[in-house]
Chain A
Amino acid sequence: MEKSILCRLDSSAQRYPEKVMFKDESQSITFGGFNSLTKAVGTFLAGKIAPGEPVAVMSGRHALTPSCFLGVVRAGGFYAPMDGDMPKTRLNQILGVIEAKTMLVDKAHLETAQQLDFSGEIIVFEDICDTPADESLLAERADSITVTSPLYVIFTSGSTGVPKGVITSHQSLMCYIDAVGKVLSIDDTDIFGNQSPLDYIAAIRDIYLPITFGASTFIIPKNEFAVPTALFNTLNREKITALCWSVAGVELPAKLGAFDEGKPEYLKKLCFSGSVMPCRYLKIWQENLPDVLYVNQYGPTEATASCTYYVVKEKVDDDTVLPIGKPYDNYRIALLNEDNSPTPMGETGEICVSGPILALGYYGNSEQTEKSFMQNPLNDKYRELIYKTGDLGSYDLDGNLLFHGRKDRQIKHLGHRIELGEIEETAKKIEGVTDCCALYNKPKATLTLFYTGQATSKEIVLYFRQNMPAFMVPRKLISLEKLPTLPNGKTDMQTLKSYF
């Protein structure tokens, strides 16, 4: 068994020294070049951090960012990626949780980094990439890592108003990457087209499938997603064979009619996740690209990106609902009732996951960790943790899992996971907002905030823009005299939904 992802990096660098590994619109890097860069960064950082220490990384959407991440790992640490385009308040919240003493940034983000509440040392990537590799120091640091050491901490929305840092180990990541690579039959001829922001969980496929299988990844410029014809031109120019995109990303070109102008000629594999696929859009893909392998994935960040998959063999119709399928290798699924008893076949229960793919918990938050990761109530013989996803599911007659939505107020909006409670906690901090309720208008994919108080909708949106990621800004604001209530005094959300 490999001890860490570094073993895979060494091996792919040896096998494909001259092959392009990561590429963006202006530069590219080979496996050999990437490996050397991680060693340079790793050697420098090893002089700054102790083994097992976190490093916050803020680097742009370009081909060299993954080498910052793996450079941290070479130094024996783990990384917490941050998107420099996020508002400072959000970045400060992340820094507050991760408590890193060191931050690695690219030159373009130095100024942003200097404006944050960060008292540690800021290191500029461009300044250290020529550090001569100290092989014995790097070997020592590689030896300090075990399969269960943290690899990265990725942040996700938390209902209390503070983002939660999900900690993933080397082992969990490698289990997932092997499983998804097998289902998609990934090999060294594949070229991925990256859509996800590099700090986001969905990007782990675009980063680690190349490291493991010798494939390459092209990082698609962000604004091309607003111009569908340019997007397809890029996929063809770069001869992209595989896409692991959010459902929202897959919908975009179909919705905006990109297939009227052309199609991705080289595409062989398309896997999607993040929310429920509206099949009227998948149908358009299938009609234009009938030979592509389509895979529907389901799973939370806490179980390393995805836990189940469904290979779409049938021709879908507008109203087809895709199953979320069967567990990946090394994932186990159980359905539990409210009282922790097993859900009978055919009935709906909470989807619970177990296996070596479970996250190590939420960083610096044992309370939340213990609530979400608990002893499997069906096992009183030995220690076996499960993660309760909060998602509801049932099995169909073929043994495929079906998804039935959330049991709480978490939503999926344009591929991002959002706690409506966090939107409300944020709105309540605004002067002039007395009370509020955030709801999701699903048919229109619009985040809606109902509120009382004197604040104007402009003031509210401006506050969100300055403090929250773009996908968490309410699109529709409705000012009310009073929020409708139920007899028990709680906000009447059903009545509010009728105001959409």
Chain B
Amino acid sequence: MEELMQILEELRPDVDFENETALITDGVLDSFDIVALVGELNDAFDIEIKPNNLVPDNFNSAKAMMALIEELQDE
């Protein structure tokens, strides 16, 4: 989780990732952010985020992202 928070913090220091729960739905993260983030997460956690993972539910909060990462790591 710490590593994820660091990546998010570096990507968008202006966003409160601890508490935001509608990052995609409210448009806090835009498509530029998502493209950059997917690349960073794939590299850092040695995972491959697939198209069907790219739904708001998986990226709306840091917690949801962590859950997705763990799920993909288990595969």
Contact = CB atoms under 8 A, between A and B. Distances in A.
A414 B27 contact: no
Nearest to B55: A227
Contacts of A255: 35
Interface string A331-368: 00000000000000000000000000000000000000
A260 B52 contact: yes
A292 interface: no
Given A222-B30, A457-B10, A465-B14, A256 B51 contact: yes
A446 B40 CA distance: 11
B9 A227 contact: no
Interface in B20-75: 24-25, 27, 29-36, 38-39, 50-52, 54-56, 59
Contacts of A252: 31, 35
Contact of A446 (B9, B36, B50, B55): B36
A414 B10 CA distance: 20
B-side interface mostly: helix
Contacts of B5: none
Contacts of A471: 32
A229 B55 contact: yes
Nearest to A254: B51
A462 B9 CA distance: 11
Contact of B30 (A446, A470, A475): A470
Nearest to B10: A457
Contacts of A223: 24-25, 27, 30-31
A283 B25 CA distance: 30
A445 B29 CA distance: 17
A261 B31 contact: no
Interface residues of B, number: 26
21 contacts: A222-B31, A225-B30, A226-B29, A226-B34, A226-B59, A229-B52, A229-B55, A257-B50, A257-B52, A258-B51, A260-B52, A261-B51, A414-B32, A414-B35, A458-B13, A461-B10, A461-B12, A465-B12, A465-B13, A465-B14, A470-B32
A383 interface: no
A227 B54 contact: yes
Contacts of B56: 227
A260 B24 CA distance: 21
A381 interface: no
A157 to B, nearest CB: 16
A471 B31 CA distance: 11
A444 interface: yes
Contacts of B36: 446, 475
A226 B31 contact: yes
A342 to B, nearest CB: 40
A51 interface: no
B9 A256 contact: no
A452 B14 CA distance: 22
A475 B38 CA distance: 13
Nearest to B11: A475
Nearest to B24: A226
B61 to A, nearest CB: 15
A201 to B, nearest CB: 18
Contacts of A462: 13-14
A462 B14 CA distance: 6
Given A255-B35, A461-B13, A475-B36, A222 B27 contact: yes
Of the candidates A223, A226, A256, A444, the one having the most CB atoms from chain B within 10 angstroms of its own CB is A226
B14 A227 contact: no
A120 to B, nearest CB: 30
A466 B14 CA distance: 9
A444 B39 CA distance: 8
A228 interface: yes
A117 B75 CA distance: 55
Which 4 pairs between the two chains have the least Cβ-Cβ distance?
A257-B51, A225-B31, A458-B13, A226-B31
A475 to B, nearest CB: 5
Interface in A239-276: 252, 255-258, 260-261
Contact of A445 (B13, B31, B35): B35
A228 B50 CA distance: 11
Contacts of B14: 461-462, 465-466
Contacts of A229: 51-52, 54-55
B67 to A, nearest CB: 18
